Structure 1
């Protein structure tokens, strides 16, 4: 016998959305910026290409 249950959607408040989007933006900025200054040429070049793709001036 199988029971079927309905799940209610989880309500996410405005503050939680803003906080999560802000955290993602900061993490993304740190990732692109941190990798851009890496001593490994492959990582640096990858970050450099991403900056150009996003129209971010880097030089």
Structure 2
């Protein structure tokens, strides 16, 4: 699971200079049909908003 605060890091970080973000970027952009991300429940809404703003379909279960 990502560390607490990861959603903010994903939203504002730079994968070119942050190795953890680079690994996440590669993993998620290689997904062809589905990328499932497990994270702390209190960060779910923030990630859903971030992805929705970028026109990425989101389903929270």
Fold in common (TM above 0.5): no
The one of the two structures with greater contact order (alpha-carbon pairs below 8 A, sep at least 6) is 2
TM-score, length basis structure 1: 0.35
Q: TM-score, normalised by structure 2?
A: 0.35
Larger Rg: 1
